[in-house]
Structure 1
């Protein structure tokens, strides 16, 4: 299990894999329906994660999960699936260098939702960084509209 001091390492690794996801998906989605590509990718993820959980000895009987955990994990899965479908459609028609940063507007939304629903209170410096991300997304989105003539 990750310790509280290792969060940054895992978050940075996640960012690296997310960046690779955009590039590899953009290469793989050419000439493929985006919904089918999302399904194909999801099936691969299911097999890899099932093997990983099994080999790591972390398999647990899902029937032991509380109804609340099942509800929130299920809602999280549905949100993830919707995000992936939208992301792959955006990648199919847009430049990866524009789609991925706009997708990261989720960072701003996570901060707002965590404030509203989880009681998290970022410092003013964290809010400044979150605001800069929001401004960056707007700049990229507006630059993309001008480049495409939209």
Structure 2
């Protein structure tokens, strides 16, 4: 099931880039990010309340709160920089650079989480880097 969710994530991430580029025309990137974030806020809390998970807030630990807040800050900064980048550049050039985060994630998952590098992950990471440079080339 996680693979389906991952594919859906990729589809909606692609739509996000295209829809954002269309919607950001003539709009400050920070304002656009704030509007997008507000929509996400209402959508997320709506789902949490609709499925009854809001009661689980009480069971969150300080550790949960700390890392969820740090993750939220990282997400917010990522979105702010992404919107600024697509406001100034082509989505077809910005998106591959943004998706090179895959390689950074592989490295950080190894260093921080102790997840192993395998020949497959090394090859895939190398191909992502090569593909990014290929797409950015003239």
TM-score by length of 2: 0.95
Aligned-residue offset at 1:63: 4.1
Structure 1: stretches of 5+ with no match in the other structure: 1-5
Distance 1:121 1:134 in 2: 19
Separation (CA, whole Å) in 1 of partners of 2:73 and 2:120: 32
| Distance in 2 separating the partners of 1:88 and 1:115 | 29
Give the superposed CA RMSD: 1.2
Q: 1:33 aligns with which of 17, 28, 31?
A: 28
**How far did residue 60 of structure 1 move?**
2.6
Aligned length: 138
Which residue does the alignment assign to 2:104? Answer: 109
Q: How much does 1:140 deviate?
A: 2.5
| 3-state SS of paired residue (2:54) | coil
Q: Any stretches of 5+ residues in structure 2 without a counterpart?
A: none
When the two structures are superposed, what TM-score results if normalisation uses the length of structure 1?
Answer: 0.88
Post-superposition CA distance 1:23-79 (Å, at most 9, x none): 000000000000000000000111111111111111135343111111100000000
After superposition, the C-alpha distances for 1:115-149 in whole angstroms (9 at most, x for unaligned) are 001010132012101110011112233x2xx5xxx
Secondary structure at the aligned position of 1:59 is classed as helix
